[in-house]
Chains A and B, each alone.
Chain A
């Protein structure tokens, strides 16, 4: 009550010259319910219709009831801004809001905040999307962050803001996953220079960056930065599937422009979803799209443009057991200066790429090799080699990530039926996958329900997680041949003609080969563990081979053939095969045809809807 009385006194003093008292009070009440005020305080509506802030740090609020009462917080904020004008410097975005919507505030000089703004000197803002990274479960779905562009300097010196969870050192993997999913960690915004991001994503994790330059006004940019200033070291509970980087970045952009960018057709939000939602619903927000390739993609782009002669000399140079500047010069002698530059500059990408995936011993040998290339490059005249830049399709052109599928099925055992499938996320080998890891799959919560003649229902599959990374390389360069692998786990029918289900884990480890840009072939050791031994055993091991063919934008297909024997019943065996095709080139729809053999044949034709 004391705070309210004080507020009334202050606001009367402030506003009485312009408005009647009642009008001033109603103006504050209206402002307290404005979306921008609610966003500034990170209020969310509860099921009961009340407000509660996602932030529970007392220092973030002026009112003791601030975390649950937008009006009390606005009143206390105005009081503080008037009585202690310096407090505006801690919350400059709130001060902007109050000045614009409620009352003129006393002037105050905020030196630190002004230095912050002038140091960033942003003339534009970009939303940067980092492609998925299968080396870390938390990064598989990609990442987004904001880049504040200062056109008067190199973009590597631009400032960025990230949002992510912080977790303790040496966190065990189970706790890491559970805490990340169920809110066990705090999330923070963090400021870094853009060159730190390129080092992390392009160089270390070999992830592509896609920069969506946004059409924000200078006022909107200032407001955005002012709020980021307010959020310095302010924790919010992090939830991997909802209140994550994508959610917080969408909230920030909404705050700046008073437009919602939150995809609202799902219970979760992933980095792709915000990029796709902006492109689909607010395309005018995006002015340009720029591609920053990983060093791996930079290597592939350059290597593909080398002449056969240049490729041959590069392979000879990289295959040499010991490389000195002298021996390298000798190897490159058949090439002219421009060709030598192209070969050496390609090799730089090769060394950078392989240094992230090789053992320490291999890296130390490779670094010696690299030194010879650097020295020979120093001996050549300065000037970049000439390559055409690659401009692949951006992530927003990929198929949407949640799948609803209806199938007509024919199966020799139960007969004709209808299948319904729902996959929460994300993509498979045949979806349209620009800006995703080539020849990879990442599926979570994939459930199939079949209904056959006689209304016989069958839960055919509930796969919790399926990851495939064929790592198909086509350069033929030494070391560019990482392992192909698959992992899947969940529940499914034991075979096509057996509707007895069991928990399962599938695995594969092997090698792959990409004879052409749109083709990958693989083979390797496969294993399947099941919780029931109705087919002979609990653990089957064997071999599998397969491939993926992107025949045209409208047609792609994959196949796999495997044969396994049960470890605890060697006389029992299992043979399986799949041949699947995708037709159409549309972000929301496709048609699939699947031929599956697992003890028995099954045929299906499906219509898929992605959202």
Chain B
């Protein structure tokens, strides 16, 4: 359920508008966009949004897609993706390829021909102990 709550709050964070667009690249998504709170806190917002549904399985978040918020910049999106799917992302990084790693690199707009090199670089700087935020930093350093 923690995993699900983290998705809920991560998506909720999309609607915040705390930062100017020009500062997108300086944002630490864990610090500024509520991802950390989603992981560690069962706060009211997460509970309200993960307030789900009869035949929907476990999650439902309704939010029109917007591209205006700085917390929705590519890097923040990648950070959210990593946080939500971290088990799969780390496993596939260990394998050297996989659909989640590929999706993460697409969010970050890494060219097809550079993907293998980026994954190789990430592989040299992470291991099984690596946490999502450190993994994200390794990815940003590799691109």
Q: How far is the CB of B127 from chain A (nearest CB, A)?
A: 6
Structural contact, B58 and A200, CB atoms closer than 8 A: yes
Structural contact, A185 and B51, CB atoms closer than 8 A: no
Give the residues in chain B near A178, CB-CB below 8 Å: none
Structural contact, A115 and B67, CB atoms closer than 8 A: yes
Report B101-116 CB contacts with A as 1/0, cut-off 8 Å: 0110011000000000
Give the residues in chain B near A436, CB-CB below 8 Å: none
Question: Which one of B18-26, B30-38, B81-89 contacts A?
Answer: B81-89
A199 within 8 A of B: yes
Question: Which one of A61-69, A375-383, A541-549 contacts B?
Answer: A375-383
Using a Cβ–Cβ cut-off of 8 Å, how many residues does chain A contribute to the interface with B? Answer: 70
Q: Which of B7, B55, B61 contacts A139 (CB 8 A)?
A: B55
Structural contact, B119 and A166, CB atoms closer than 8 A: no
Structural contact, B53 and A166, CB atoms closer than 8 A: yes
Chain A, 201-216, CB within 8 A of any chain B CB: 201, 203-205, 207
Given contacts A165-B54, A381-B96, contact A374 B128 (CB under 8 A): yes
Structural contact, B59 and A196, CB atoms closer than 8 A: yes
Report A553-589 CB contacts with B as 1/0, cut-off 8 Å: 0000000000000000000000000000000000000
Give the residues in chain A near B62, CB-CB below 8 Å: 188-191, 232-233
Structural contact, B52 and A166, CB atoms closer than 8 A: yes
A371 within 8 A of B: yes
A145→B103 CA distance, assembly (Å): 21
Question: Which one of A43-51, A95-103, A154-162 contacts B?
Answer: A154-162
Chain A, 294-337, CB within 8 A of any chain B CB: 325
Structural contact, B67 and A119, CB atoms closer than 8 A: yes
Nearest chain-A residue to B102 (Cβ)? Answer: A154
Q: How far is the CB of A125 from chain B (nearest CB, A)?
A: 16
A138 within 8 A of B: yes
A443 within 8 A of B: no
A240→B56 CA distance, assembly (Å): 11
A285→B54 CA distance, assembly (Å): 28
Give the residues in chain A near B97, CB-CB below 8 Å: 382-384
A163→B60 CA distance, assembly (Å): 9
Structural contact, A205 and B51, CB atoms closer than 8 A: no
Given contacts A153-B106, A159-B65, A377-B95, contact A205 B57 (CB under 8 A): yes
Using a Cβ–Cβ cut-off of 8 Å, how many residues does chain B contribute to the interface with A? Answer: 49
A191→B66 CA distance, assembly (Å): 12
A562→B56 CA distance, assembly (Å): 38
Give the residues in chain B near A381, CB-CB below 8 Å: 96
A157→B102 CA distance, assembly (Å): 10
A127→B102 CA distance, assembly (Å): 24
B139 within 8 A of A: no
Q: How far is the CB of A217 from chain B (nearest CB, A)?
A: 23
Give the residues in chain B near A188, CB-CB below 8 Å: 60, 62
Structural contact, B55 and A245, CB atoms closer than 8 A: yes
A187→B19 CA distance, assembly (Å): 33
Residues of A within 8 A of B (CB): 112, 115-116, 119-120, 130, 133, 138-139, 141-143, 145, 153-157, 159, 162-169, 180, 185, 187-192, 195-196, 199-201, 203-205, 207, 229, 232-233, 238, 240, 244-245, 271, 325, 341, 345, 348, 352, 370-375, 377-378, 381-385
Residues of B within 8 A of A (CB): 3-4, 7, 11, 47-48, 51-67, 81, 84-85, 87-88, 90-91, 93-100, 102-103, 106-107, 119-120, 123, 126-129
Closest 7 CB pairs of A and B: A382-B96, A164-B53, A164-B56, A374-B128, A371-B128, A154-B103, A377-B94
